[in-house]
Structure formats: structure tokens, C-alpha cells
Structure 1
Amino acid sequence: MKHTLILGTLLIAANANADVLGLTAEVGSYSPDADLWAADTNTTGTSDMDADSGIYYGIALEHPIPVIPNLRIQGTEITADGTATATYNGSSYSNAAASIDLSHTDFTLYYELLDGLFWLNLDLGITLRQYDGYVEISNDRTDLSETLPMLYASPFIDIPGTGLSIGGEIKYLSYDDSSITDTSIKVKWESPFLVGIEAGYRQHEIDLVDVSDLDVYSDNSGVFIGINIDI
């Protein structure tokens, strides 16, 4: 419901200011494979997991004022379940239940450095990623609730006369012993009727040390498909 209200509000705003604001939006399904290694004060475990297909969405507002960055809001649901080889309070378990929720919301401020010049497009900026999830192994659950800054880049190339564009997004963070790499490769098609389709492959890899009292490594990689709107 929250995502629907945000999208509806921004669509109304963009239509009311069509000669001033530009708006793009996307929504679809992300279907990754997942693996997990995690440790907290009580439990250490490793697991191959069955990830659920989750919803992703994105909304971007662009304006003609050069010194003020544009805004993009994106969100992804990532959840997975499996069994783990775990050590819990000193005892070992070979089939411990494991689950992970790496759902997150991204708030990105960016500049359009290239906007259709020789069919090239390039956005650069900063993303604040808010994780709101958890890791649970053998009924020992640790919340993962952090807001982390990431570098953001999105290059695309348009194929003239087709409505097609090919490119992707890169979001990256590295500090101390922790890192996050989130890379998407995407093909988009914009129809003459505003609504188009998109599909691609995304790899979301996190390696966090002592974040929310948790050490966790997880690689979530898979395909996504959705629709997009460009006003």
C-alpha cells in the first residue's frame, strides 16, 4: 500500500508539472538464488537457501535545475529460507533452520552527466541504503537494521529508432572489512504509450562485519522482469 501511494502521488505531481518535471517508474519481480554465512554472539552457520521471488520498485524525479540533484527511490524485497550447518551455544547442528531478510530501500541523489548525447546516458550520485531485515539460524534471530552510504552509477545506451536501451546500475560500498556490491544489467523497451517492459540480471552481494552486532556474507543473484513508465 505504501509503495502504491508513493507512486500515485508522484504520477499526479509529474502530470501537473509536465513541462518542468520528468518522472520514471518501474515495478517488477526479482527471483534470486541465495547463500548465507552468518555469525553473532550465539550462533555461526552456513546455508544454501531457496529464495522467494520478491517485488522491486523504483521512482525517479528529474528537474531542469543543474545544481540540485535528482531523486530516485528504489526498494527490493529479498527473503530466503533453508537449512544450515550451525553451531549454537557451543553445540553443532547439521539441519538447523535458517532464514534471511535483506529487504531494503534506497534513496539516491544523482546528476545526469550525459542525457542522450550520442545516445549515451550516464547518472552518478550517492545512495543511502536502509536495510530493514534479519538473519535467523537455529531460532537465534538478529535484526539487520542499518542505513549505509553507497556510490551510485547508471550508464545506458539507446538504440536509435527501436525504443530499446541497454545498461545497468552499480551501487558500491567498502569500508573497514565490510563491503556491498549491487550490480544490475538491464534491457529496457519504451513503447509509444508510456508503459514499457524491462528485464535483466542482478547480483546483490554483502559482506558485513560487526554491523547490527552481526557478521554476515550473502550472495543473492538472479533475473528480474518488470514494467516501466517514462513521463
Structure 2
Amino acid sequence: MNRKIIATAAVVASLWMPVQADTLLGLYVGAQAWRSDVSGGFGNSSAVTDFDFEQETNSSLYVALEHPVPLLPNIKIRRETLNSSGATTLDTDFTFAGQTYPQGSALAMGGDIDSTDYVLYYEIFDNDLISFDLGLNARDLDGRIDVSVASDSNAMSSQAFSGIIPLLYTRVQVGTPVGGLGFAAQGSFLAIDDSSLYDYQAALTYRWLDNLAVDMTFELGYRALRLELDDVDNLYTDMEFKGPFAGVEVHF
């Protein structure tokens, strides 16, 4: 798995081309709240066990720095925690983290994934009408999943996992003739053999405050994240988070 990740990073990095840097120094700080439906499952083999998940509200924070230095990429750091909880009744035996649960068991699960994105990107276009960013995102995942028998929380097994996954990063922002209104979309993508990850979002934006000192933009949109991991610390997942989000971004 590690060799595949390194090879992918090298290929993506080789696609980068020197571009003109941003003409103004800018600091961006943003936050989002995301109401997501969760589906799919996980296990210690490629035959994952599906769970019925509850809706979750997750939040994220990010900061980005854009600068006028040619050839040096801009940087963005984003931090969030993905929470999940669910239940299932097994139609076959299920082994997780060294413990086997027999067919017919009613199981409960709880999980959280701390995710930190380290994005290096270039502005390919940047004007009042359209901006387009392209770069590489190193996503640092650190998570834990707990499984227990619903009627006996002492019968529990836990699996921790971590890894850094390189992703292709893109972002597009488009202005409109209507004052303050616009459209923004961004995504991070990876596909290697049986592992894949995509995380994309699209939103309507409204610039409420725009002056020489600070800009403030509100956004309302939809986000979808699929996490299909193949043997990361002996964990296999095929999970999808999707739903509406709202956010705010301040530009100094």
C-alpha cells in the first residue's frame, strides 16, 4: 500500500507545471458545518459488513495562505473529524479486531476519523470572472472504530488505523453578474487498484462584505465523500458521507 501511495504522489507531482503565482498576499480562514447521511460498512477483509448509520453533523476548519512568490505553491490546511454511529443484525458471522460475533448478533458501532489535509496548490487562472486551482493534497487520516454487542457493551472490539493518502486537488470559483453571488466547487481524488477516495463539494456563494481590509463570503452547498480503503492497518472500508453544508470564509 505504501509503495502504491508513493508512486501515485510521484506521478501527480510530475504533472505540475510552473505557473504565475498570485499577485496579492492573502490569508483565508473558513469554517463549515456538514449534515451528512452515512452508508456502507467496514471489516477486516474485503467482504465488508454493512451497517445502518445515523445522520451526523460534522464541522471543519481551514486556513489558506496565497502569496506573490513565483513557482512557490500556495498552502492550505484543513482539519475535521468524521463521526459515525450505527447498528446491524448479522446475517453471517463477523470477525473484527480479533473477536468473532456469531450470525444473528445485534451489533452497535461507533467511530471517528480525524482528518487533516495539507494542500499545496497553484492558481492556474485568477481573475474577477473565474479562478482555477490545481495541486496535491496529502490527507492524514487517524481513526478508530468500536464494535460491540448491542445488549452487552462489555463485549467490544476496537480497531485503530492511520495513514497518509496523496490526492489530486482542484478548485474552481466563478463569479456572476448578480452582485456578490457566485459558484464554487472543489474536490480531492484518488484511485489505486481496490482503494479509492473522492471528496467533492459544490456551493452557491454570497460575498456579504468586500472592502480593502477584509472580505466575508457565505456558502451553501452539497458535499460527498467516499472512503474505500483496502488493507490500511488491516482495515477495509466502503463508506460514503453525503449531504448539505453551510460555511463562511473570511479573507484578510
Partner of 1:211: 232
Whether 1:114 aligns to 2:129 is no
Q: What is the alpha-carbon distance in structure 2 between the residues aligned to residue 177 and residue 37 of structure 1?
A: 15
Listed one character per residue, the Cα deviations across residues 123-144 of structure 1 (whole Å, up to 9, x for unaligned) are 0000000112122233222112
Q: What is the alpha-carbon distance in structure 2 between the residues aligned to residue 230 and residue 156 of structure 1?
A: 15
Secondary structure of residue in 2 paired with 1:78: strand
* Structure 1 residues 154 and 44, CA gap change in structure 2 (3 angstroms): closer
Q: Is the 8 A contact 1:132 1:146 kept in 2?
A: yes
Partner of 1:13: none
Aligned residues: 211
Q: What is the alpha-carbon distance in structure 1 between the residues aligned to residue 158 and residue 127 of structure 2?
A: 48
Partner of 1:152: 169
How far does residue 44 in structure 1 lie from its aligned partner after superposition? Answer: 5.4
Partner of 2:112: 101
Q: What is the alpha-carbon distance in structure 2 between the residues aligned to residue 195 and residue 150 of structure 1?
A: 28
Identity %: 27
How far does residue 108 in structure 1 lie from its aligned partner after superposition? Answer: 0.2
TM-score of the pair, normalised by structure 1 = 0.84
Unmatched 5+ residue regions in structure 1?
1-18
How far does residue 94 in structure 1 lie from its aligned partner after superposition? Answer: 4.2
Q: What is the alpha-carbon distance in structure 2 between the residues aligned to residue 207 and residue 54 of structure 1?
A: 19
Whether 1:75 aligns to 2:75 is no
User: Which of 41, 58, 69 matches 1:54?
Assistant: 58
Whether 1:22 aligns to 2:26 is yes
Secondary structure of residue in 2 paired with 1:102: strand
Q: What is the alpha-carbon distance in structure 2 between the residues aligned to residue 58 and residue 158 of structure 1?
A: 22
Greater Cα offset, 161-170 or 148-157: 161-170
TM-score of the pair, normalised by structure 2 = 0.78
Whether 1:171 aligns to 2:188 is yes
* Structure 1 residues 229 and 181, CA gap change in structure 2 (3 angstroms): same
Listed one character per residue, the Cα deviations across residues 150-171 of structure 1 (whole Å, up to 9, x for unaligned) are 0001011111451222021110
Whether 1:221 aligns to 2:242 is yes
Whether 1:185 aligns to 2:202 is yes
Greater Cα offset, 68-77 or 157-166: 157-166
CA RMSD of aligned residues (A): 2.0
Greater Cα offset, 93-102 or 22-31: 93-102
